[in-house]
Structure 1
């Protein structure tokens, strides 16, 4: 390691922890401050929302109480009117009854009626005039100049009610009672009290204009509303039929004249809160139907009571104190961690320097070992390859006895044929029948036999010659060569062999090694068939191309391999034969050749009739 690199590492050991500590402290402090700030903002928003909800609740209670007051005053007004009317009518009734009873037997009916009418005139006032009507609708004592005709039975009020008939029905059915109607003109309500005189089919009554009384009540209520104290953020307005009749000073200063028309346009007969129509203001309206009034009560959301302001100030002070504490605590923690980090960094730096020399020493040692490692690996691979080749060759030599037996079988028939040819030539010579044509014919046959024997020797010689390199061959031709080497042995064992080649099977392989595999598989199948004495023994060899793969299958009808030994069948020195007939290397060497030398695979499976070895390259 270079000197500059050592200095950089020593520097980094000190600086990096400090940088990490400071960075972590910065982000943690910032994160915590943001969280605390967000918390206090949320608390503040909740406090403001609670303040608004509290103000809304108070405003609703205030408006409801004023409406209750309006209702109370209005009911008192109606009750007072009814009591006053009843009192006037009762006095007139008592007077009429007194005259009737006093003069009933002393004066004529006409005179008594006139005296009664004259007495009723004394009770007529502009506010509550007393009238008298017969059950036939005759206007005995008119209630006003507007209704002075002689018979008023067919009279209808402003709403087209037959009000006189209603009065007569009320008197006849109940003797007395109150009626309310727009007697002369619409929206001018009158309360009328009628009572049966029980003489001459007359009834008397009195009526008064309720609206005039309500105007007086409105003036009284307006005067009272103007004197009501309110919070500094509250305002109040009163609309009569959506026309402003009372605007508090605060409402005028808060909203301005332009807002009154907007409020008037939004007024509803249903109790309702309004927020979006005016910025920073909430207002509540409620309609009081008897007076046709809309009471508006609202507040400025930006203004708070002293209690709420104090609460907000306390929250802000808590936030400032919390932030001061966080910054102080963070600074103390950073200082402590920085000092601790410096001490630890210096300690780590010393340890690093101590171990650095040891690491360098071991690195030098590893470098020396590495210099010879590649050569040792190459030598090992070369030795292993040589051992594999020797093992293959030794396997071939181990099978030489079988091969010599095959050669003997291959030559026995040609030698017999050669002996027969010599005997034929000798017999022809002895019987003077040997001609040149006959001799040439027999010599040609002898040459064919010798050629066959020579080819057989070449096939066996090539088989035992180690492969130097791969070559392109037709696998079906290689299979035929392998079968030819085993042909006589198969015929003597009575084993039928069937070849099935499909497609063009040109492949780049070690030819002799592949022949060795095929011979092992064919011989293994033949031995099983002979050992089990299978009826009609048969070996089927199929070669075919499937996509980019070459597949060769060697199958027999020997009943298959026991499932308990299938996993061991390719292990070295494992054999189902006795030690004189098997070495246990044939299938092991075949699998090694296919998988390691030819880059393919060799597998075993059982089918319906027997075992099937499958080669894929």
Structure 2
């Protein structure tokens, strides 16, 4: 016993020693891998840093662009609120002047006071003023610029050809006031500029009183507000932003002027040459314009001095051109900041690697000590377990062979029972088919017999009629006998494989059941693909040019017939259900033969509907059926699959079709006169 314990202890110690050695080897390998992967980690860190900085730069530019778009949308609303308030105030004051002096002064005197007030009203900018138009005469009666007093607005067209007065009359038809756009000169220039105007009807004298504001004036104020706002934005890490205004003439871009550069405030207001080059010879400002010429933003790499240094360093900026304001907006980062980030990453990786090495060595030592202590305990446990299992195994071995024999016999018996059950079910179906086959000959014999009795009674029995009856009687009896022989051969068990003609077996089977199926309004057709042509086959003969007619197989024809009968009667049931449901008028079953590689395929299709997807995986399982218990056992397709695949070396599968059910029997061709063999 001690020898066994020592032997077990040695085995356990050897195994644990190998484990510990493996841990040490893995530790050394991991250390090498960690050190080797450091450079790869640095590359990944570099890519991640650049990607993150690019994202920050792009987000910074998009924030500025979105702020501009938001501000532009607010300009019109702000402008309208401003000019409406002024006009409402002017009309209110004019109304007050009128009410206070009505009946005291003449209309001409009152009108003069109001005109003087409107013409001399003070605005916060030099381009602001009120104007008034007499709607009866269409002439300007009040204006900041004297030369426009008396001007006939009925004949005026602005720079876009718009009749301003007619537009204003249309506004008054809809209500007493409204907004509209127009082009008009500024008090300080003769050039017309777009402006937003608000007009209101002064009813006592049928005057139009209005004012407006030039869009470029509000736009300039918006730009100043945004520049001031953006200059206060805190710099995010190493991201730097800038804005420059692009100046163009009819020949294109000429120069740029810096509007915002928080890192270099001394550049603001200075002109920037488009031909300015960096230390690498890049005309980076032209690169900005080329990158944004498509209307989209993009990244540009160039060299420029970093704030606080005299040395040019590599920089990447995301730039975007805001064409409405002619602003070039950019934000970027310097690559020397990347070096600082990478050095910090290297230190972090080095420290992490050293910690991993210490942890791995400590773990190996702890495992070695623990393994030695566990070895003795495990050895005793193993000895005890081995003895227990040895006793149990010896006991189990004694009865194992006996149990195996019993289970094998049970399995064989169960399969035989299933087979016999299916065979009885098929026999019942075939008896029905024979009944249909016999009905017509028996009726004919009955009619002949009745006719003979009638002629005997009338004493008119002729010799020619007797000969005809004899011949017909013999043919009918021979037909009944042949039907019995076919039925007997159909269910004769196949003990040994035999050579048989495939097409003959199929035709004989169809002839046997055809009348029964026809009585159920179901047509059965046989077709084949022969020499690239499809033929319909019911009569075999020498003149039928069909290569399938010569195919002979080596197997069990009786089992094949049972498989075909099972599939055909399943099709009959499905067609009957579909016809009763009103889905079809007539049943169609087709058996199609075709060569495929070294096999011959029999495709049996019917128009009784498609098998639902949810039950397709179960159709070949034993005892699975969708019929009532009185109509099916659920063994047909199960036994058919065993017969085709286990006994004949073929394959039985469900075909793929969207409008009918198709079963495919694929059998290997072992003996054939066809060109394919």
Q: Normalised by the size of structure 2, how large is the TM-score?
A: 0.38
Structure whose residues are more often helix by fraction: 1
Larger of the two Rg values belongs to structure = 1
Q: Normalised by the size of structure 1, how large is the TM-score?
A: 0.41
